[in-house]
């Protein structure tokens, strides 16, 4: 066997391995998808509602992941965009009688613009400084929502109550099931968009900025524009999640969007895996279910239990669920 | 023969079951022959977790009920969940209680935004949302929300009580109001206006709002003094109420100063404001203050104290939260006992809406709980009190906020 032949066969083997892992990935995503589609038919309305919340948080985390995981910009303030999306939906439904379906694009656009605008001044800030600036956004949001000038729209501290939509076309689905599938559909659409974006030229530019901004600039990437755009797109995702959240919870109030929400999203991102889009589902599940488990163990010490579980989890899978899955599949394929 | 026997046996079993089913017809979800399942969602964690003492007191009181044989021959099973004062979590936890744990009713949920979030849900599901721990007036609306009821005096009723006092005691009153710019503040003003009736516009000379985000209320106090008001109604939360008391004394504004009950805590308002600045301030209350020496030897408060020692020894006996938790659970006990014949959700709401002259151990003497099909505000009476430099002194009669208008 000549050197060339060896190289060819090595390349073939690698391609084969890649193909195998790709098909494994496809199969597992299909299994997860099938499970998500079938679940609501076997569980109670309340559990469907919980799963729905999980999906909504997953969408928000996906948005944060685009910014933090792929573009390397930290945000402790995504709860603010979630809140803006939620309030956009609630105000449109409550004051203007808009159908809930159309509130999503509206929330997306408004959040994209606010994210983009916030991204512009944030360009000067890096790492922890950016985290601090976004944290300020998260802390300020609940108070802004209480402002008396906006009260006519936001309902002040009282918040806004909205009615839950029914399934259209006489579909034999309960309200919970319908909203769940609606969220799932929106989530898949957004996942598809995010995946394509990450795999595109723009996606490579975004990641290049994360890995080496100088090199990216010398390659001709407009760093400032891409960073602001990523901020906008990230806010768009989170804002749509917020709008879905408002529709499913049927209520928005300033107390729903404290900085705790922003921190929860960041925790979900890290648990799911930074820079791995499907990890958002795991992160969403963590946000919804782990506090309940912690509470079940000890009510008085639920916060401590939550912390303990978080530490354990990070110890077991330091790179989140994404990293864990990658390590496991690597081991299996090597054998 | 054997077969027929079996069939007869089966038949009688069916008959027997249906008899049992018939006998149990007057029971609802969450009620069995031996238990009543009740759910409670409160902030055990998060920014409002100080209130969790109320939940622990609820729990302890129910343990006491169970030790004494329960109600209607049934033990109460209380399921508590934490919402961290976050409305979305309240919705999740409440739905878990109603749909998964299948509780009979939800009791004493805490907070205005949290209860607002489940207000619609509870009424669509027709599950009692009983004795919510908030004074917002919207939780007593039997026409639109027949499954929701508050407990403590609502802010409108309290506003009416102050109006009554001003009309009766102050000639030529010119009222200046400091209020928090939200529902809580506006409820008070609406109550005061309703209480003053036609004279409201003449008597109220200035209303000064503040935002929760404001650092101080100094400028508002200066404006109020400049308006020439001789009655100062202070509708602020503890921090701002203390600032206002201090500032009013500093600039020498000599007006009859009324502080709303939200901020009549000696420890967290009057002390930081300075006792010397707080002498003569008027407020209203409906519960006994365990630190007040006049209740020494009071049988009601003694019962509370014994209960605390036995069932909640870790609890704070100087806190108004434990007194509150005791009173509200005692009211629940009363309502459950009066619905023994009809232990359904509708039956409990009916019992809750027909309380007559019920007095809790911890309420001030003469303060009676009364409800009706059109009156979903259990406590509407309060008694006025004046600060003497050391403690509050009750004065005058118990005033009813529901009919304080004239």
Q: Which pLDDT score is estimated for A148? A: 65
What confidence tens digit (pLDDT) does each residue in A207-234 have?
998 888 888 888 888 888 898 999 999 9
ipTM: 0.77
Taking the Cβ of residue A152 and every Cβ of chain B, the question of whether any pair is shorter than 8 Å is answered with no
Q: Which pLDDT score is estimated for A46? A: 85
Domains contained in chain B, CATH given: 28-153+291-375 (3.40.50.2300), 155-285 (3.40.50.2300)
| Residue A176: pLDDT over 70 | yes
Q: Which pLDDT score is estimated for A295? A: 84
Lowest mean per-residue pLDDT among A158-172, B134-148, B178-192, B225-239: A158-172
* Mean per-residue pLDDT, B135-139: 86
- Nearest Cβ partner for B116 among A251, A261, A295: A251
Length of chain A: 335
Residue of B116, B190, B314 best to disrupt the A interface, most CBs of A under 10 A: B116
| Residue B15: pLDDT over 50 | no
Q: Do residue B117 and residue A249 have CB atoms under 8 angstroms apart?
A: yes
- In chain A, count of helices (H) and strands (E)? 14, 2
Of the candidates B147, B37, B40, B41, the one whose C-alpha atom is nearest the C-alpha of residue B102 is B37
Q: How many CB pairs under 8 A join A and B?
A: 100
Q: How is residue A150 annotated by DSSP?
A: T
* Mean per-residue pLDDT, B235-244: 88
What confidence tens digit (pLDDT) does each residue in A278-309 have?
889 999 999 999 888 888 887 777 788 888 88
Retrieve residue A335's tokens. Answer: 């054998």
Q: Which pLDDT score is estimated for B77? A: 94
The continuous run of DSSP H or E covering A160 comes out as strand A160-161
Q: Which pLDDT score is estimated for A258? A: 84
Q: Which residues contact A56 (CB under 8 A, 6 or more apart)?
A: A183, A241, A244, A245, A248, A284
* Mean per-residue pLDDT, B211-229: 88
Taking the Cβ of residue A143 and every Cβ of chain B, the question of whether any pair is shorter than 8 Å is answered with yes
Lowest mean per-residue pLDDT among A79-83, B82-86, B330-334: B82-86
Please report, rounded to a whole number, the percentage of residues in chain B having pLDDT higher than 70. 92
Residue of A157, A248, A259 best to disrupt the B interface, most CBs of B under 10 A: A157
Nearest CA in chain B to A50: B92
Retrieve residue A180's tokens. Answer: 């769940």
Min Cα separation A335/chain B (Å) = 45
* Mean per-residue pLDDT, A233-259: 91
Lowest mean per-residue pLDDT among A150-164, B93-107, B149-163, B181-195: A150-164
Interface of A with B in 300-329 (CB under 8 A): 300, 302-303
Residue of A57, A94, A158, A301 best to disrupt the B interface, most CBs of B under 10 A: A158
* Chain A CB contacts of B213 below 8 Å: 143, 146
Lowest mean per-residue pLDDT among A44-58, A130-144, B87-101, B334-348: A130-144
Phi, psi of B131 (to 5 degrees): 55, 60
| Residue A240: pLDDT over 90 | yes
Min Cα separation B120/chain A (Å) = 8
Band of pLDDT at residue B56, cut at 50, 70 and 90: very high
Nearest CA in chain B to A303: B45
Q: Which pLDDT score is estimated for A219? A: 87
Residue of B117, B187, B220 best to disrupt the A interface, most CBs of A under 10 A: B117
- Nearest Cβ partner for B112 among A44, A157, A245: A157
Band of pLDDT at residue B378, cut at 50, 70 and 90: very high
Q: Which pLDDT score is estimated for B3? A: 47
| Residue A62: pLDDT over 90 | yes
* Chain A CB contacts of B119 below 8 Å: 161
Query: Please, are residues B378 and B361 in contact by the beta-carbon 8 Å criterion?
Result: no
* Mean per-residue pLDDT, B220-228: 93
Band of pLDDT at residue B25, cut at 50, 70 and 90: very low
* Chain A CB contacts of B96 below 8 Å: 46
* Chain A CB contacts of B47 below 8 Å: 258
Q: Do residue A255 and residue B85 have CB atoms under 8 angstroms apart?
A: yes
Nearest CA in chain B to A249: B88
């Amino acid at each position: 066997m000549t050197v060339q032949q060896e190289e060819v066969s090595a390349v073939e083997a690698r391609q084969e391995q890649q193909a195998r892992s790709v098909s494994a990935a496809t199969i597992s995503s299909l299994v997860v998808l099938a499970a998500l589609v079938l679940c609501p038919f076997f569980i109670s309305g309340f559990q469907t509602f919980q799963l729905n919340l999980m999906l909504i948080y997953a969408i928000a985390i996906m948005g944060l992941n685009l910014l933090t995981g792929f573009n390397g910009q930290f945000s402790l303030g995504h709860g603010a965009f979630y809140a803006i999306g939620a309030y956009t939906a609630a105000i449109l439904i409550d004051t203007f009688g808009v159908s809930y379906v159309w509130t999503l694009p509206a929330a997306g656009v408004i959040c994209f613009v606010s994210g983009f605008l916030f991204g512009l001044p944030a360009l000067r800030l890096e790492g922890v400084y950016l985290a601090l600036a976004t944290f300020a956004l998260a802390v300020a949001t609940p108070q802004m929502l209480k402002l008396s000038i906006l009260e006519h729209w936001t309902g002040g501290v009282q918040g806004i109550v909205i009615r839950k939509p029914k399934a259209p076309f006489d579909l034999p689905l309960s309200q919970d099931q319908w909203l769940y599938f609606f969220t799932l559909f929106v989530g898949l659409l957004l996942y598809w968009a995010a995946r394509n974006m990450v795999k595109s030229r723009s996606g490579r530019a975004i990641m290049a900025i994360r890995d080496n901004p100088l090199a990216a600039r010398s390659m001709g990437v407009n760093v400032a524009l891409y960073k602001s755009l990523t901020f906008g797109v990230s806010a768009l995702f989170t804002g749509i999640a917020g709008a879905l959240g408002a529709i499913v919870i049927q209520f928005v109030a300033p107390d729903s969007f404290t900085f705790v929400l922003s921190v929860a999203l960041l925790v979900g991102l890290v648990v799911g895996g930074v820079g791995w889009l499907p990890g958002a589902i795991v992160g969403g599940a963590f946000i919804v279910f782990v506090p309940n488990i912690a509470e079940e163990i000890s009510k008085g010490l639920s916060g401590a239990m939550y912390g303990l579980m978080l530490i354990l989890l990070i110890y077991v899978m330091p790179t989140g669920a994404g990293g864990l899955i990658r390590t496991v599949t690597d081991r299996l394929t090597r054998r | 023969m054997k077969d027929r026997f079996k069939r007869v046996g089966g038949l009688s079993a069916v008959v027997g079951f249906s008899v049992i089913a018939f006998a149990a017809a007057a029971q609802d979800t969450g009620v069995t022959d031996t238990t009543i399942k009740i759910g409670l969602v409160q902030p055990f964690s998060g920014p409002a977790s100080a209130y969790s003492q109320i939940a622990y007191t609820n729990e302890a009181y129910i343990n006491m009920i169970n030790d004494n044989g329960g109600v209607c021959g049934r033990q109460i099973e209380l399921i508590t969940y934490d919402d961290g004062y976050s409305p979305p979590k309240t919705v999740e936890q409440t739905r878990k209680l109603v749909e998964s744990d299948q509780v009979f009713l939800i009791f004493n949920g805490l907070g205005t935004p949290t209860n607002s979030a489940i207000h619609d849900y509870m009424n669509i599901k027709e599950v009692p949302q009983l004795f919510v721990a908030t004074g917002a007036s919207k939780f007593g609306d039997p026409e639109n929300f027949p499954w929701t009821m508050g407990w403590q005096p609502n802010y409108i009723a309290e506003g009416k009580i102050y109006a009554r006092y001003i009309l009766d005691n102050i000639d030529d009153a010119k009222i200046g109001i400091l209020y928090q710019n939200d529902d809580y503040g506006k409820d008070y003003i609406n109550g005061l206006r309703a209480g003053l009736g036609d004279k409201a516009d003449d008597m109220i000379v200035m209303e000064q709002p503040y935002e929760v985000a404001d650092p101080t209320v100094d400028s508002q106090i200066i404006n109020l003094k400049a308006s020439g008001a001789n009655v100062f109604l202070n509708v602020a939360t503890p921090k701002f109420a203390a600032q206002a008391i201090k500032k009013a004394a500093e600039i020498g504004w000599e007006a009859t100063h009324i502080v709303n009950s939200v901020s009549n805590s000696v420890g967290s308002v009057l002390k930081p404001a300075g006792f010397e600045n707080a002498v003569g301030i008027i407020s209203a209350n409906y519960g006994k203050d365990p630190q007040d020496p006049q209740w020494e030897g009071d049988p009601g408060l003694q019962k509370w104290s014994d209960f605390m020692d036995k069932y909640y020894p870790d609890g704070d006996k100087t806190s108004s939260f434990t007194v509150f938790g005791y009173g509200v659970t005692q009211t629940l006990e009363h309502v459950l006992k009066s619905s023994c014949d009809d232990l359904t959700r509708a039956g409990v709401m009916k019992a809750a809406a027909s309380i007559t002259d019920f007095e809790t151990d911890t309420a001030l003497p003469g303060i009676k709980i009364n409800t009706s099909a059109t009156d979903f505000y259990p406590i509407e009476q309060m008694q006025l009190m004046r600060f003497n430099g050391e403690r509050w002194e009750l004065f005058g009669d118990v005033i009813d906020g529901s009919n304080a208008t004239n």
